[in-house]
Amino acid sequence: MALIIFLAFSLLLHGALGDLICEELPVELCSYSIATTGKRCLLETDMTKEGETKFQCKTSEVVVDVLKEWIETDDCVKACGLDRNTVGISTDSLLNPQFLAKLCSDACHQNCPNIVDLYTNLAMGEGAYLPTLCANPRRALSQTRSSGAAAGGPSYSTAADIAAPGPYYSYYNGDYSPAPASAPTTSAFAYAPSQI
């Protein structure tokens, strides 16, 4: 009986002392955060009864393998060219050369493992390999534009629609691992909004 009480108290105490729960985060810290459960936090909009739009922090279904209880720093958000007020998760920014330049910069790539992991997984979901995009973004972007695949315009999705495979970038020491056999070996970046 004493063991059961001890275990119950331990679980309650752990929850009271430090679980990071997305719904309890202020909206200013929501984007790019990771809950104790390992799920990404997601900034979403909601309509109030008065018809006004308000932001809410929600838990997504996108699970991060490596990091938990993570609130991204403002330095990383800035170094990687991101905006803390980003709603949802989208691959559209990977089509922007200025964003890719910041994402691929040493300041971001060497110091911001959470953001690198997120965009590695987003690129993989689009059939691209982030180190390849970083090595030759112009070629990747020109192939995307010339393919006509993006002609339908951007598409936004909820986090529940995005699969998050494990990263292929070793972000703790900055080394790239070889591309997996299924990853493209060229700079082909296939943008397919309907597949997100």
Please indicate, yes or no, if residue 11 is contained in any of the structural domains: no
Residue 2 lies in a domain: no
pLDDT tens by residue, 66-81: 889 999 999 999 999 9
- Mean pLDDT confidence for 108-127: 94
138 compared with 109, residue with greater pLDDT: 109
Q: Which residues, 6 or more positions from 99, have their beta carbon under 8 angstroms from its beta carbon?
A: 81, 93
Q: Is the pLDDT of residue 159 over 70?
A: no
- Residue 68 included in any domain: yes
Does residue 5 fall inside a structural domain?
no
Residue 150 in domain: yes
Range of the domain at 33: 19-195
> How far apart, in whole angstroms, are the C-alpha atoms of residue 148 and residue 152?
9
Q: Looking at the 3D structure of the chain, how many domains does it have?
A: 1
Q: Where residue 183 falls among pLDDT bands split at 50, 70, 90?
A: very low
* DSSP secondary structure, 17-48, as one string: HH---GGGS-HHHHTT-B-TTSEEEEEEEEE-
120-150 pLDDT tens trace: 999 999 889 999 999 987 665 555 444 444 4
C-alpha 163/C-alpha 122 separation (Å) is: 8
In a domain, 13, yes or no: no
In a domain, residue 7? The reply is no
Neighbours of 108 (CB within 10 A): 22
Task: Kindly list the distances between the CA atom of residue 124 and the CA atoms of 46, 57, 107, 119, 175, in Å, as whole numbers in the listed order.
Answer: 30, 25, 22, 8, 18
